[in-house]
């Protein structure tokens, strides 16, 4: 009789621990991993003005002034720095003319905090990232750090559905295919898009497939021909570079292969596939010099005005010839400028 309550308690404890372990991820994390890639969206309350803690999007939230004073804001004469009700600095009691006034004054009515977007992800170390927002160039030249990580915080962005497209240029000037995420940005909330793993860059030098991705990632190479697919694997070095000799893949000569690659990081993040490359295998002959690498930036089929970009100008030209036969604008050569040409243009869009 004495043992029964103990056994019951032990059972209860084990049940609680097991169920706790099982359910805790669902209780504490509202985020779920996407099936194909590792992109995760986390939506949290944006800065709450009036909670006494300065958060993103706020200049101050008394008593938290983030260490700022009248002097640090450029008011040499000092004075008392205050905070408006909308959590922006009130410099009316600061003296001496400042060199710059960081925040417009105002006060009065309550302004809801703006939506904040945080983009976090990985790519190859030192890669240059270009971001398009809804088809327009938004951020250019953001560089990934030496570990391939990047983070961007964007303030004052309108709520609603947005598509963000990412492209990278690696150290060898190879460009990746665009990777896009579409999501709804909630008003007055902080939306964090994390787990963005940009597709690896790829290029061919003779029979060697080369590219860059996040350091020490597993690179999975898909080689397909006539509906049959072979997958080969390699690993990226610490600097993010990777290569695979297609001579080791038992390929046949005079056969067209379509090759693309994707990567999984040591942290378990999955990238989408790179662009596809067409490849004819040719056995290496001793004494014959190596074939130069395929042009780093291949001609863009949808660049109709030849300015190196695919943007609204090219779209205007496409619309002008819509439904007509116009070689050069009829990108798939089916005799009419239509939806398929438009689709090809959307694929190559650079903004």
H helix intervals, the chain: 3-28, 312-320, 339-348
Instruction: Give the Cα separation of 118 and 44 in Å (integer).
Output: 11
Bridge partner residues of 211 (DSSP): 202, 242
* Among 75, 179, 279, 281, contact with other proteins (rule: CB under 8 A): 179
Quote the least distance from Cβ 35 to other proteins, whole Å: 7
Structure tokens at 36: 């194909």
Query: Which range in 35-43, 48-56, 100-108, 205-213 contacts other proteins by CB under 8 A?
Result: 35-43
Instruction: Give the Cα separation of 23 and 310 in Å (integer).
Output: 48
For residues 2 to 21, the per-residue mask of contacts with other proteins, x marking binding by CB under 8 A and - elsewhere, is: --------------------
Quote the least distance from Cβ 140 to other proteins, whole Å: 15
111 lines the binding site for other proteins (CB under 8 A): no
318 lines the binding site for other proteins (CB under 8 A): yes
321 lines the binding site for other proteins (CB under 8 A): yes
Instruction: Give the Cα separation of 294 and 244 in Å (integer).
Output: 15
333 lines the binding site for other proteins (CB under 8 A): no
40 lines the binding site for other proteins (CB under 8 A): yes
Cis peptide before 63 (omega within 30 of 0): yes
30 lines the binding site for other proteins (CB under 8 A): yes
* Among 51, 66, 316, 325, contact with other proteins (rule: CB under 8 A): 316
Query: Which range in 98-106, 115-123, 140-148, 337-345 contacts other proteins by CB under 8 A?
Result: 337-345
- How many residues line the site for other proteins (CB under 8 A)? 66
Instruction: Give the Cα separation of 265 and 217 in Å (integer).
Output: 4
34 lines the binding site for other proteins (CB under 8 A): yes
Q: What stretches of 158-297 adopt beta strand conformation (E)?
A: 160-169, 179-185, 189-197, 201-205, 208-212, 218-225, 228-235, 241-245, 256-264, 277-280
Query: Which range in 11-19, 45-53, 78-86, 175-183 contacts other proteins by CB under 8 A?
Result: 175-183
160 lines the binding site for other proteins (CB under 8 A): yes
Q: Cα dist. 54→59, 101, 115, 175, 245 in Å?
A: 7, 19, 16, 39, 53
Query: Which range in 101-109, 134-142, 203-211, 246-254 contacts other proteins by CB under 8 A?
Result: 134-142
Quote the least distance from Cβ 61 to other proteins, whole Å: 25
* DSSP output for 175-194: BPPPEEEEEEEPTTEEEEEE
280 lines the binding site for other proteins (CB under 8 A): no
331 lines the binding site for other proteins (CB under 8 A): yes
Q: 137 and 351 in contact (C-beta within 8 Å)?
A: yes
Q: 132 and 160 in contact (C-beta within 8 Å)?
A: no
State whether residue 308 is helix, strand or coil: coil
Structure tokens at 59: 């200049």
* Among 9, 13, 14, 32, contact with other proteins (rule: CB under 8 A): 32
209 lines the binding site for other proteins (CB under 8 A): no
317 lines the binding site for other proteins (CB under 8 A): yes
Question: Which residues form the interface with other proteins (CB under 8 A)?
Answer: 30-37, 39-43, 132, 134-136, 158-161, 163, 165, 178-184, 186, 189, 191, 193, 272, 275-276, 301, 304-305, 312-313, 315-322, 328-329, 331-332, 339-349, 351
């Amino acid at each position: 009789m004495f043992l029964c309550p103990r056994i019951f308690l032990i059972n209860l404890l084990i049940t609680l621990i097991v169920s706790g372990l099982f359910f805790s991820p669902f209780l504490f994390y509202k985020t779920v991993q996407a099936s194909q890639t590792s992109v995760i969206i986390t939506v949290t309350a944006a800065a709450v003005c009036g909670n006494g803690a300065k958060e993103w999007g706020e200049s101050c939230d008394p008593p938290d002034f983030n260490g700022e004073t009248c002097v640090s804001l450029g008011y040499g004469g000092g004075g008392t720095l205050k905070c408006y009700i909308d959590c922006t600095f009130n410099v009316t009691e600061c003296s001496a003319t400042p060199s710059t006034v960081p925040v417009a004054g105002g006060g009065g009515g309550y302004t809801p905090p703006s939506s904040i977007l945080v983009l976090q992800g990985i790519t190859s170390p030192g890669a240059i990232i270009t971001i398009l927002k809804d088809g327009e160039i938004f951020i250019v030249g953001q560089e990934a750090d030496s570990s391939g990580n990047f983070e961007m915080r964007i303030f004052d962005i309108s709520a609603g559905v947005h598509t963000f497209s990412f492209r990278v240029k690696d150290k060898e000037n190879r460009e990746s295919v665009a990777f896009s995420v579409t999501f709804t940005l909630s008003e007055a909330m902080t939306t964090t898009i994390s787990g963005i793993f940009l597709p690896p860059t790829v290029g061919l030098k003779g029979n060697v497939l080369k590219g860059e991705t996040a350091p020490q990632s597993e690179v999975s190479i898909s080689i397909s021909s006539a509906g049959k697919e072979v997958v080969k694997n390699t690993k990226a070095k610490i600097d993010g570079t990777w290569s695979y000799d297609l001579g080791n893949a038992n390929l046949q000569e005079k056969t067209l292969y379509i090759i693309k690659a994707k990567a999984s990081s040591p942290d378990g993040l999955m990238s989408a596939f790179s662009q596809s490359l067409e490849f004819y295998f040719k056995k290496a002959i001793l004494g014959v010099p190596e074939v130069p690498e395929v042009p780093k930036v291949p001609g863009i089929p949808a660049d109709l005005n030849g300015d190196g970009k695919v943007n609204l100008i090219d779209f205007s030209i496409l619309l002008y010839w819509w439904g007509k036969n116009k070689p050069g604008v009829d990108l798939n050569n089916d005799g009419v400028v239509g939806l398929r040409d438009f689709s090809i243009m959307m694929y190559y869009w650079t903004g």
